[in-house]
Each structure stands twice: as C-alpha cells, then as structure tokens.
Amino acid sequence: MLAEIGHFALILTLLVAIAQSVLPMLGAIRGDAALMAFGRSAASLQALLIAISFGSLMTLFGQADFSVKLVANHSALSQPLPYRLAATWGNHEGSMLLWVLVLSVYGAGIAKFGDNLRATLQARILSIQAMISVAFLAFALFTSNPFERLFPVPLDGAELNPLLQDPGLVFHPPLLYLGYVGFSVTFSFAVAALLEGRADPAWARWMRPWVLAAWIPLTIGITLGSFWAYYELGWGGWWFWDPVENASFMPWLIGTALLHSAIVTEKRGSLAGWTILLAIMAFSLSLIGTFLVRSGILTSVHAFAVDPERGVFILAMIIGATGTALAMFAARAPMLKSGALFGSVSRESGLTMNNLLLMALTAVVFLGTFYPVIMEAVSPANKISVGPPYYNLVFVPLATPLLLLVTIGPMLAWKRDDLATLGRKLLVPTAIVAALLAALVLAFGWQQVVAALGLALGAWLVLGAVLVLVRRWWGAGGFSLRLVRTTPAATIGLVLAHAGLGFTTAGIASMTSFAAEKILVMRPGETAVAGPVSVKMLGAEEVDGANYRALRARFTVAQNGREGLLISERRLYTVSGNQTTEAGIGVSLLGNQYVAIGDVQQDARGQGLVVRIYWHPLVGWIWFGGLLMAMGGCASLADRRFRIGAPQLRSPLAPTLVPAE
Amino acid sequence: MKRLAMLLALLAASPVAAVMPDEMLPDAAQESRARAISKDLRCVVCQNQSIDDSDAPLARDLRVLVREQIAAGKSDAEVRDYVVARYGNFVLLKPPVEGDTLLLWLGPFAVLLLGGIGIAFWQRRRPTSTQDAAPLSAAERAELDRLAGSDN
C-alpha cells in the first residue's frame, strides 16, 4: 500500500511541476500577480508531495518490505536499521528520488525566502525550477521507478555494498546532491536574468546566498568523501583523481569561480555576463557529475549502450538544459548592461584572474576525465589512459598562481589600485613567508624544496587571511573594538575560507613529500618501523560483528616516546561475501599513524600476516581546511546584507520590455 | 585457531591495496624505482587504478614483470618501453604528448590564454578606460582612507 502511495505522490508531483513550469512564467509575462502567486504555492505543494513519496520509500526500507524490488535488491535483514534507511539513496532509483526531493525543497525555499525578490524574477525562477523538476520526475517515473513491486516476494534481500555501510557514506551522497541541485537554483537565476534581459547588482545579491547554499554542502561532501576514502579503502590515499571524484570537483571549481564573480556583479555591477555563464556551467557540470558518471560512459563508451534508454534520456536532458541556456546567453548577453569600468590593477581584475584560473583548472579535470572516452570513440585503436601523473603535472602549475593570488586579491582596492601601493602591502607577508621558506629549506634540505614551497604557500594563504582581519581591525587610529564589532560576517567568511585553503595546501604538500610506509609480513611479537612510527604486533583473533565476521589484529604504536593501541580489521560480510578493511588509525595534530592488515603470507621467517604501516604527516589538515572553507561559507551566508534586501531602483513593472520566449 | 584458519581462507583475495611483501625486490633502491614506475602504469583491467594500487591478479603480474626487468638491470625508460610495447599507450597513466593528445595537454593553458585575451579585448573595446585618469596622490589617498575609516 505504502509503495502505491509513494508512487501516486510521485505522479502528483509531476502534475504539479508541469503546472508550475508554465503558469508563473505566463504570469510574469502578462504581469498577472495571481499566476505568479500560484508559482509560490505550487513550489511548496511540490515539495510536500515529493517528501511524502520519499518518506514512503524510506519507510519501506525501514520495514524491510521485500515485495518492493528496490528494497529487495539493496537491503537485507541483517543490515543495521540506519544502514537500511541509508540504502534508500544508495542506489540509482532511490538517489533519483532524493535528487528531485532536494530540487523541490530548494524550489520551496525560493518561494518562502524570496519575498524580497522582484515578483517577475521570482515567478520566472520558480517556473524554470519546475521545468527541471518535470524532466527529472519524468525520468524517475518512466525509466527508474523506485516503487516497482517484486513477485514472488523473497524472504531476505540482497545486501548493500558493505563499503557503503559507513557513517561517512550515509551523509556523503545527500551532501553532494545538496550541492549539485543547489546549482539548479543559480541556473534558474541565470536563465531568468537572461529572460528579463537584466542582471544587475540586486540580482547578484539575491543569487549569492543560493550560490553559497550549494557551495557549502558540496565542499563538505567532497571533504567527507575524501576522508571516507582515506580510512575505508585501506591504504590512506585521500584523493584519486577518479572520474567519480572529478565529477564532484568540477562543479566545485566552477561554483567557487561563480561565488567570486557574483561578488563583482553585486558590488560593482560588472562581469554580469560572465557570472551568468558560470551559473549555467556550474549546473551543467553538476548534471554531468550526477548522471554521466552513473551511466557508465566513463568506464567505456560501450557500457553506455547497456542501458540506452536511461543514457539517452540523460544525455538529452544535459544537452537540452545546457544548450537552451547557452543559446539564450548568446542571444541576450549583448543586451546586458555592462557595469562600472575597472583598471588592470584592481580587486575586479584580481577576481577576473581568479575566475580564469579556476576555469583553466576545471578544463584540466574535464579533459582528464573525458579525453579517454573521446579518444576511444574517435580512434579506438589508440586508446589512452589519464591518471594522477597527468593531473599532478598540469593541475599544480595552474593552481599555484591561483593560490598566490588568493592572498593578494583581498589587498587590492576596488575599481583602481596601483602596483606601488600593493607592493607596500605585500612587503610584510612576503618577508615573513620568505623567511619561513628559508628555514624550511634549511631544516629539510634541498631535496625537499618542493615540500618547503608547498608548506610556505600554505603559510602564505593563512597569513594573507589573518592580514585581512588585521587591516580591518587596525584603522587609521590604531586598533579599534568598534571596527572588530562591525566586521561584516562576509569578511569573516573570506578569512575562514582562505585560511582553510592554506591548511589544505600545507596538508597536501606534507603528505606528498613526507609520508612514510612499510609493507611487510609480521607475526605477533614482532616490531616494524615506518618513518617516525614504530609498530609492534600483539596478536590476531577472529571476532563476530552484527552482519560480518572479522579478523582483528592488535598493535602497539610508539612515536616520540608515546605509546598507543591500534586495532585493524578485515571484515567479511556474510550475506554478500564482500570484504572491507578497517584500518587502525592513530590521529594527532601533526599526523596520523595508519595500520592496515592484509593476507597471510610466507616470508623468510615463516607464516605471518601482511601488515601495511603508514605515517601520514599533517593529513588531517587537508580535511580541516575543507571544513574551514565550508565554515567560511556559512559565515558569509549569515551576513545580514543578504537578509535586509537588496538595493534596487524603484521602477514600475514593465512587462512590455520583456520579449516573448 | 581452526576457525581463524577458516576465516583466513574465506578472506582469500584481499581488498587491501596492492604491493605484497613477497613481490618486493631485496634491493631497497631498486624496489623504490619499481614503486615509482608502478605508480605510472595502469592496471588495464581496473578502473583508473595504477598497478601499484590495484589488487587485481593482472596488476600483480605486471608488478612482478616490472621488478624482473629492473632486477635484470634495465633502466626506468627501458622498463616503461618494454611494458608499452606489450600493452600499448593505454597502460600509461600519463599519456604521451602526441598529435592526438595535444588538446589534452595544452587545452587548459589555451583556456587560460584565450580567456585572458577575450577579457582584455572586452576591456579594451570600452570607449573610456579608467587607466586614463591619473592615479591618486599619496595625500589624496590618505584623505580618502581617513574618510572611509577602513579599506573595506
């Protein structure tokens, strides 16, 4: 019964979305307030209906109702309840439903919190949101119905991949979706601005919180995903340049560019066309991220053909949304008023450089991800692979100037600045970082000069962020509490995010150069050393978990005279036969000790257990930096400027100015 | 202990990454060369994994092959060429710079360059440029700073 309720609610959602995609738009064109108001009610109704549908599916998973095919295929009775519930979105159909749920909730958000928006703009945005909804709801209903029944009903289901049975993975996909789908809102803002032929500072100010609302969960999601890979995959890698990771990284890079270019549009009215273009690209890349990756096209062109119905639908959606928006951009961009001019040395030009470099970095990831597929399609005889060595070689030289610029940018004045003033401001941080660099080179030697440069770059970023506060708090008359009190939340956001980037940079530099490892066969009582870490194996035994059996090894770990106990497991999930590794990780501020166990093997001294011991210096800084960036986003979002409404010209509604679609 | 042995038997194929102690070369310098080469070679049956990270049997074979070649006294380049001769460019995680891959290698820099030119052109096309105005004098700037109270 519940499955039918969920299915029915899903169909109703589609009907509401169809009405919402047409009527408010019509209202905006005709200046009909009632039709525009309908858009707001419809958006809330849509969210309510899809919530009922999603809630039904989640309850079915909770009840372990194996008469529903999806539940039977993706959960088992032996699975703990939280993971059964999380299995709702641990599969294609369920995650599609989550996608439309998030989409509708954002739509309802625009209806609820968009009181200060121009009524016509809000109506158009809601209509465009609904058009996206229609496409995805139709996709869910016609190609991936989550409520399909199964007969005969099995006694138990097939298990969710145990790798995914982990708290990190419970929250990872919803966070990424919040990010991906959040960019649908900025996409709608961009298209609505093109329809109205107007992208002014007020528009940018309205849009900025929504950019942040997408960027923050995406940042946390990527950070969490990286952390999950680190402790679950068994050898402490934290980023793999895997297509799935790249898929979330591309919208993040473009989203970051959008975040910055929207500032220019908000403060100075410039770069409006550029901001619109970035908003379109961020959503396109999000679509690519969610769906092309799922379609299997990245594994091989041929995998795409296994499920052509879904694949073609997805491709049509991506091309339809992106193509239409870009065509409109080409037609309307020249109509957009260009804002204030700016000099070649100015905050605006700094942010333009930021945008260009972020675009180039996105191009690195995009080409690296899709080039092998394109090559396979164009010349199958000459297949290539693109992996970490390519990214390291091309990404780093483009990322370095961007990171250098992060500290310089906030020092620049809006509109026009000159190099002499900038030079004076840069004197102190440059001197400090140069001294640090010299000290690092002295400490580690010339062989580790790359690591020293990376760490110094991290310090440069953190210092640059701190200096923003210092300059803000020390006015012409010295330090002033009034200046501290009146610091806008957005400034705090900038400081946190830029400092976070510094911590991440330092962590990456340290991990790249100073990580140590030792792989060997150990027997109880034996000791091994990796870098500064000394590990002694105590013993190994079998243990039983809720739905798995495990081999558990215990170790004592000594470093700098301090000892600790680490436990490492290899689990066998009894239903599916899948295996996972649970590494033992000793966490500290300066780095992690990491011990993972493997097979039984013979070496010169007899039979023992393969043990991998790692020392990961500053690895935690990578994720700490990511979280700090997200916190910076939150601080920015809290800025009261976003709540008191945007300054706008009092102009009468002028529907006649708006050409028909 | 018997149950433990059974579990170990069940846990036959380890999901844990890659290199096993029994594959390693006794010479530490040679082994670290082998690791470096392995990181650049793709496990051809895996999705985007290097043979150094992969636990697939084929990756193991390739790791052993690389080590045999190194132990036989081949240089790094010779080992790579040997593997490429057998598996083609597909095995390299860093594709060679050729006609086919020029776009891959130069594309990002082209984006930067073309974007820069585009924006410079856009700015130049404007009827007036702020560059024409004389920069503020130090006194004017100090006065402005005083009036503004801060630089934000």
Domain ranges of chain A: 1-160, 169-376+383-415, 516-621
**Closest chain B residue by Cα to residue A270:** B123
Name which of A52-61, A249-258, B7-16 the model is least confident about. Answer: B7-16
pLDDT mean over A7-29:
95
pLDDT at residue B128 in the model: 44
Check residue A302 and give its pLDDT: 52
List alpha helices for A115-271, DSSP H.
Answer: 119-143, 167-196, 201-232, 243-268
CB atoms inside a 10 Å sphere around CB A379: 11
pLDDT of A124 > 60? The answer is yes
Q: What angle do CA A56, A59, A65 make, to 5 degrees?
A: 105
Amino acid at B71: A
The pLDDT of A272-287, averaged and rounded, is 92
Q: Is residue B103 less than 8 Å (CB to CB) from chain A?
A: yes
Instruction: Find residues 70-99 of chain B whose CB sits inside 8 Å of chain A.
Output: 88-95
When pLDDT is cut at 50, 70 and 90, the band that residue B131 belongs to is very low
**Cα–Cα distance measured from residue A422 to residue A414, given in angstroms and rounded to the nearest whole number:** 12
For residue A487, name the pLDDT band (cuts at 50, 70, 90): confident
The pLDDT value given to residue A163:
65
- Average pLDDT of the segment spanning A268-277: 88
- What confidence tens digit (pLDDT) does each residue in A441-450 have? 999 988 889 9
Which residue has better confidence, A653 or B92? B92
Residue A297: predicted pLDDT: 65
Give the pLDDT band (50/70/90) at residue A477: confident
Judged by CB atoms closer than 8 Å, whether chains meet at B4 and A541 is answered as: yes
Q: Answer yes or no: is pLDDT of A330 > 70.
A: yes
Q: Which residue, among A201, A196, A362, A349, has the nearest Cα to A268 in the 3D structure?
A: A201
A584 with A568: CB under 8 angstroms?
yes
Contact criterion met (CB below 8 Å) for A20 and A130: yes
Which residue reads 């946190």 in tokens?
A496
Which structure tokens are listed for A26? 């019509």
User: How many C-beta neighbours within 10 Å does residue B4 have?
Assistant: 13
Predicted TM-score of the model (pTM) = 0.89
The residue with greater pLDDT, A117 or A501, is: A501
- Which sign, positive or negative, has the C-alpha torsion A352, A188, A95, A112? positive
Question: Residue A23 — very low, low, confident or very high, per pLDDT cuts 50/70/90?
Answer: very high
The neighbouring-strand residues paired with A31 are none
Q: Does residue A194 or residue A337 have the better pLDDT?
A: A194
**Alpha carbons B9 and B89: distance in angstroms, whole number:** 37
Q: What is the pLDDT of residue A15?
A: 96
- C-alpha to C-alpha distance for B87 and B64, rounded to whole angstroms: 15
Nearest to A603 among B3, B22, B109 (CB): B22
The candidate with the shortest Cα–Cα distance to A270, out of A279, A278, A261, is: A261
Q: Are A415 and A348 in contact (CB under 8 A)?
A: yes
Of B21, B101, B145, the CB nearest to A476: B145
Instruction: Find the DSSP H helices in A33-158.
Output: 33-63, 69-74, 81-86, 92-113, 119-143
Burial B11-36, CB ≥16 within 10 A → b, else e: beebbbbbbbbeebbeeeeebebbbe
**C-beta separation of A38 from A23 below 8 A:** yes
Q: Measured between alpha carbons, how far is A306 from B47 in angstroms, rounded to an integer?
A: 17
Residue that wins the pLDDT comparison between A278 and B138: A278
Q: Report CB contact under 8 Å: B16, A364.
A: no
> What proportion of chain B, given as a percentage, has pLDDT over 70?
76
- A516-522 vs A606-617, strand pairing mode: antiparallel
Q: Cβ A363–B107 below 8 Å, yes or no? A: yes
Q: What pLDDT was estimated at residue A301? A: 52
Q: Compare all CA atoms of chain B with the CA of A354 and give the residue at the minimum distance.
A: B112
A610 touches chain B (CB under 8 A): yes
pLDDT at residue B52 greater than cutoff 60: yes
Rounded Cα gap, residues A192 and A277, in angstroms:
13
Asked if residue A402 has pLDDT above 80, the reply is yes
Tell me whether residues B150 and A475 touch, CB distance under 8 A.
Answer: yes
Q: Where are the domains of chain B?
A: 10-91, 102-148
The distance of Cα B12 from the centroid of its chain, to the nearest Å, equals 32
Residue bearing the bigger pLDDT, A654 or A344: A344
Model confidence at A357: pLDDT above 90: yes
Single out the residue of A641, A658, A660 nearest to residue A204, CA to CA: A641
| Mean pLDDT, rounded, of chain A | 87
Measured CA to CA, the distance from residue A488 to residue A481 in angstroms comes to 14
* Residue at B47: amino acid letter: Q
Report the SS3 class of residue A299: coil
Choose among A343, A390, A601: nearest Cβ to B130: A343
Q: Pick the range with the lowest mean pLDDT from A163-172, A306-315, A472-481, A646-655.
A: A646-655
Mean pLDDT over A83-100 rounds to 87
Which of A82-91, B9-18, B35-44, B80-89 is the least confident region? B9-18
The confidence score (pLDDT) of residue B124 equals 63
Which of chain A's residues have a Cβ under 8 Å away from the Cβ of B111?
356, 359-360, 363
**Identity (one letter) of the amino acid at A79?**
Q
**How many helices (DSSP H) and strands (DSSP E) are in chain B?**
6, 0
The CATH architecture assigned to B10-91 reads Orthogonal Bundle (1.10)
Residue B134 has pLDDT above 70, yes or no: no
Exposed/middle/buried for A550, CB within 10 Å: 0-12, 13-18, 19+?
buried
Mean pLDDT of A164-170: 73
DSSP string, B47-72: SS-BTTT---HHHHHHHHHHHHHHHT
Residue B133: pLDDT band by 50, 70, 90 thresholds?
Answer: low
Distance CA A479, CA A471 (A): 9
Q: Cα torsion at A320, A326, A332, A335 (round to 10°)?
A: 160
| CA proximity to A599, closest of B52, B6, B13, B18 | B13
Q: Residue A195: its pLDDT value, please?
A: 92
Q: For residue A282, is pLDDT > 90?
A: yes
At residue A445, φ and ψ (nearest 5 deg) are: 90, 165
A1-160 carries CATH number 2.60.40 = no
A287-296, A470-479, A628-637: which has the minimum mean pLDDT?
Answer: A287-296
Residue A629 in this model has a pLDDT that exceeds 90: yes
Lowest mean pLDDT across A231-240, A408-417, A567-576: A231-240
